[in-house]
Amino acid sequence: MISRLKPTLIIISAPSGAGKSTLCAKMVEDYPEIVENISYTTRPPRNKEKNNIDYFFISEAEFEAKKAQNFFIESAYVHGNHYGISKDQVENALSINRPIIFDIDVQGAKTLVKKYPDSLTVFILPPSIEELRKRLEARDKGKTQNLELRIKNAEREIKEATFFNYKIVNADLDKAYAELKKIVETELINR
């Protein structure tokens, strides 16, 4: 497939529940050439999540072993769980001239930008902390893992939004998605 987009890292960060997975999924649907990074995590799967699709769900021991083998290009401890990105996925996407999209936290974004300074970085903001809490409760049917920690971290993460090239407030999903699409097209389309 010939990619219409430059082979670059597209890094989307947001507090948990702001809508980054939803927005990334829409992007990949519209642009099949975008490779979607699948991170490794020690977090247990949520309701509809599937292994090898949403994440590679692995044990703490497996995570530690991979980390020791230098398997991850980036790894972080977020909201009480380990997460990591395999070096291979990033290098493979770029080697076939495809962009790769990440849904990762602020510390992960900073690490990747150090390694790939050309990355496009976008921060998704919730309209308010109250709305963020409502979305998490609705998505996880009242069973969000580490809810209070996620809310506390959200307040800290929002303060770091200035690090990102672009910021989008996800109040209305269609409007937020239109903004994201415009940013990606403006920055990455081959002209």
Cβ 77 to ligand 5GP shortest distance, Å: 9
Nearer to ligand ADP, 14 or 184 (CB): 14
Q: Partners of 101 in the beta sheet? A: 10, 36
Binding to ligand 5GP, residues 7-66 (CB under 6 A) = 16, 39, 43
Residues 107-166 that bind ligand 5GP (CB under 6 A): 107-108
Select the span of 3-11, 83-91, 117-125, 183-191 touching ligand 5GP (CB under 6 A).
Answer: 83-91
Contact set for ligand 5GP, span 86-115 (CB under 6 A): 103-105, 107-108
Q: In what order do the strands lie in the sheet with 100-103?
A: 35-36, 100-103, 9-13, 120-125, 166-169
Token code pair at residue 48: 């509809």
Applying CB under 6 A, the span of 73-81, 114-122, 158-166, 179-187 interacting with ligand 5GP comes to 73-81
- C-alpha dihedral sign at 25, 27, 28, 30: positive
Alpha helices in 31-146 (DSSP H): 60-68, 87-95, 106-115, 129-139
**153 contacts which partner out of ligand ADP, ligand 5GP, none, CB within 5 to 8 A by kind?**
none
Beta bridge partners of 122: 12, 166
Contact partner at residue 138 from ligand 5GP, ligand ADP, none, CB < 5 to 8 Å by partner kind? ligand ADP
Enumerate binding residues for ligand ADP (CB under 6 A).
Answer: 14, 16-22, 103, 135, 138-139, 170, 172-173, 176
Q: Which helix (H) or strand (E) covers residue 11, if one does?
A: strand 9-13
Among the residue ranges 80-88, 90-98, 118-126, 169-177, the one whose residues contact ligand 5GP (CB under 6 A): 80-88
Shortest Å, Cβ 111 to ligand 5GP:
7
Q: Name residues whose C-beta falls within 8 Å of residue 17's C-beta, 6 or more positions apart in sequence.
A: 126, 132, 133, 135, 136, 139, 144, 150, 154
Q: Which is nearer to ligand 5GP, 57 or 169 (CB)?
A: 57
SS3 113: helix
- List the one residue from 74, 154, 166, 179 that touches ligand 5GP (CB under 6 A): 74
Distance CA 99, CA 58 (A): 26
Is 170 one of the binding residues for ligand 5GP (CB under 6 A)? no
